[in-house]
Structure 1
Amino acid sequence: MNPKLLFWVPAALRTALVAAGCALLGWMFGWMTGVVVALLATMVMVFVQLSYLYQLSNWMDDPQSAKLPDGWGAWTNIFSRLYRMRRDDEKNQTELTEWLARFRQAMHLLPDGVVIMDDVLFLEWCNPAAEKHLGLTHERDKGMRVTNLVRNPDFMDYIILGRYEQPLTISFRERKLIVHIIPFENRRQILVTHDATETERIEEMRRDFIANASHELRTPLTVIVGFLEIAASEGLDVATRNSHLKLMTEQGHRMQHLIEDMLTLSRLESVDYPMRPETVDIGRLMEQVASDARALSAGKHEITLQIDGPDIVGSYDELHSAFGNLASNAVRYTPAGGKIALVWREFEAGIKFKVEDTGIGISPEHISRLTERFYRVDKSRSRETQGTGLGLAIVKHVLLRHGGTLQIKSEAGKGSTFIVCLPKSAIVPKQAELLLGQA
């Protein structure tokens, strides 16, 4: 039925019913009585309408579906429609609130920064990543101009020129940031920030690695090629030829060791080569490490071995490579007559393997960088000792795969101590239970 008829027909019927009642009273008790009753009925009807208007006005101040009054007559339909509209609005508002909460949660979890600005660059909202990247605080800086908060000349030029087709890379707060402004709507702009510091660091490490590896390989190749050219162009006596062959063999072995260490390091870093845990016989491992160190020392050092701890679960080959690197470094950097102590011992938090020497020691400024690839404290001495510069980097990655850490204590001229700490969980389970039972 037509909505207009739904309103006017009941209203006309109610009016006709009141008029008929008043006419009947006038016919029965006189026309004056009918007029008075009609006037009173009209006043009551007006009062009811005004009462509902007052209730509607009060409800409009706080429009909640639960507080909507019931109506009479035409007001029943009006309040019913208002109730349905308000219920739909509340449902939509609840859904919108849920979506907004999800949006904010997603924005909070984003690794990239997001800043929402108006058309004159006043801050409206930002996520935690943007606060970290740009030094903003949403509660404190809301309503302030972003250009007053991010003081960087390149960023200011980017804003002023308005060339937002390409992102801008800036150095800000000791970070390398990629910023991009995206206009949306008519009076809004989004500023997106991406922290490229780690990417830049990895790229720099890659460049350094290639440069260092190329340099390390170029030196022995130059020696070998030079001697081959001499041998091809001149008649050499047997002693000179043998001397040259010896040097070329040494340089060839140096390249071989370098390539082996590079392959080992690449394998340790690759997810395609997961560690295969096994029970490691510590007695056999420690004896082999000590034997290799004594062979390298050739009797020039006093090397002692002490084992006071259980077997562990791990990779025998990887641990042999790591422990062997630490022991061989101690031999290489300890003058003849010095002492080297290899100790395997259990302590409260797990297991420690300690390599202590009386060698040349290391200055404090170098200690934090010792596990970097190709980092050397003394490059000339490293070449003399045939080091590849990758030994401690291999140690670090082996320990990462075994849940261990490396501690370095050293003093120039007095020696060094390298301590490998492995967790309690690395102990072979049966031996761990036995130790607990004896305690």
Structure 2
Amino acid sequence: MLKHNFWQRIVCEITLVLIIAAILGTVFGRVWLVITIALLVLILYYAYQLQRLSYWIWQQNNVYPSTGFGALNLLFYGLHKRQRRQRNKQNELANIIKRFRHGAESIPDSLLLVEDNGAITWCNKIAQNELNIHWPYDKGQNIVNLIRYPQFADYMAKRNFSQPLTLLFRQQYYIEFRIIPYIDKQWIVIARDVGHLYLAEKQRRDFFTNASHELRTPITVLKGYLDMLADDMISAEDYQKTIQTMQSQTNRMENLIEQILALSNIENSPLNKTMQKVNVPAILHNIEQDIKQIYPHYLVSFTIDDQLRVIGVKSQLESVITNLIYNAIKHTPDGTAINIEWRHVSYGAYFSVKDSGPGIASHHLNRLTERFYKVDDARFIASSSSGLGLAIVKHALLNHGNTKLQIRSKLTEGSQFSFVLPEQYIDHSNDI
């Protein structure tokens, strides 16, 4: 509305000055002289205001212009209003850029903006750490010069980004590069660590390879004996022994399949629906009675806190305890001393199985909980271990507060397998 009144204000101001000058000129008898002087003063005032405006535009650092009087004040006010709108737009744009950068920093992948010629214009912190980009010193550098892999250079040169490119980066981890067109001949480069996917795929291949190998042996034995029985090649004296061998191999396959299913159930079980009170002392006392009857030649001692009960998945904790105890018996010779502890410590519920057997070489320790991993040792030959027991233990413990299985062993000095369930898993309902 004010912009339409500017010329009206100018005309009114000039008219008012002329009227006042005419009145004063009449009083002093110098009408034209006074009018001329009044017009000159008005022109000088307008020139002064315009000079102030010019000084603000080109030299002054103030955000907003100074105010004036009269019609020119409309110009100052209009500039002030336009400047305020411009400042608000700049603030909105700055907030948008800030939110964009915050969002880009929140993305769990490396993110870079590059020009069509490969020059880097921006990158997030993950890209700086993961791709070893030194920001802002590498701003403007060609991305091919910083990611020095021939496959990546060819990928950028071909400009065919329909499929991602995966590289083994620094011989440590796999990085998948995806390049997406942006604006003004710019590209968004997304680099994602996909090492866990390669590891999962490797574990899947290894699992099927090892499972097939473990099942092939008993199946081959069974097939051989069945062919011999079909051809009447087994004598009456060897018949019972053959049946026992076939039963043993069948039991071996059944045990392997049960352990595979148990491991699968542990990895996929909904824990929040299956947590319950677990009477660990009762489980240990039952195992103690069984060992006395089945393995009388082992020196097995139990130290049990009968008041220490926990909250957890009963089937999984029972599997953990059973596997650790019977592994110690299975993989040590007769007469071995085995000490089993279940007690309350300052940071949780402590369980330990310690034996005085031949021990395990240090280079095996980090791999003992891998699926189907077996120590190539003469003392394991007699056992029918599937290599899944400790894998079951590991995953079952991870389901209980991310508990870790601790393994300590030295050759000729025995082994110790232990874990501590966190304090929040202890059942205090029976406390006095």
TM-score (norm 2): 0.91
Residue matched to 2:207: 209
Q: Deviations over 1:314-360 (max 9, x none)?
A: 23332221111011111111112211111112221122111111122
Give 1:381 shift. 5.3
- Does residue 131 of structure 1 match 2:133? no
Q: Deviations over 1:209-255 (max 9, x none)?
A: 11111111111111111110111112422222222111111111011
* Contact 2:22/2:34 (8 A) holds in 1: no
- Does residue 427 of structure 1 match 2:431? no
* Contact 1:293/1:327 (8 A) holds in 2: no
2:234 to 233, 236, 240: 236
* Contact 2:127/2:133 (8 A) holds in 1: yes
Q: Deviations over 1:40-90 (max 9, x none)?
A: 3233223322332233234434463xx433333332322232233222222
Quick check: which one's helix share is greater?
A: 1
CA shift in 2, pair 1:2/1:82, >3 Å: closer
Say which SS state the counterpart of residue 422 (structure 1) adopts: strand
Residue matched to 1:110: 107
Matches of 2:104 and 2:51, distance apart in 1: 45
Matches of 1:291 and 1:320, distance apart in 2: 16
1:154 to 139, 151, 156: 151
After alignment, is 229-238 or 5-14 more displaced? 5-14
Matches of 1:58 and 1:256, distance apart in 2: 93
* Contact 1:361/1:411 (8 A) holds in 2: yes
Structure 2: stretches of 5+ with no match in the other structure: none
1:69 to 63, 66, 69: 66
1:54 to 31, 51, 55: 51
Give 1:147 shift. 2.2
After alignment, is 116-125 or 413-422 more displaced? 116-125
- Does residue 17 of structure 1 match 2:23? no
* Contact 2:271/2:399 (8 A) holds in 1: no
Matches of 2:148 and 2:195, distance apart in 1: 19
After alignment, is 127-136 or 221-230 more displaced? 127-136
Matches of 1:211 and 1:382, distance apart in 2: 21
- Which amino acid in 2 is paired with 1:13? C
Task: Describe how 1:243-258 pairs up with structure 2 within 5 A.
Answer: 243-258=241-256
TM-score (norm 1): 0.89
Matches of 1:316 and 1:7, distance apart in 2: 87
- Does residue 416 of structure 1 match 2:415? yes
Matches of 2:44 and 2:173, distance apart in 1: 72
Structure 1: stretches of 5+ with no match in the other structure: 435-439
Say which SS state the counterpart of residue 274 (structure 2) adopts: coil
* Contact 2:262/2:392 (8 A) holds in 1: yes
Matches of 1:273 and 1:9, distance apart in 2: 81
Residue matched to 1:194: 192
Q: Percent identity?
A: 34
Matches of 2:270 and 2:313, distance apart in 1: 16
Give 1:158 shift. 1.6
Say which SS state the counterpart of residue 69 (structure 1) adopts: coil
- Aligned-residue CA RMSD (Å): 2.4
Matches of 2:293 and 2:45, distance apart in 1: 111
Residue matched to 2:336: 338
Alignment coverage as a number of residue pairs:
427
CA shift in 2, pair 1:78/1:243, >3 Å: same
* Contact 1:362/1:411 (8 A) holds in 2: yes
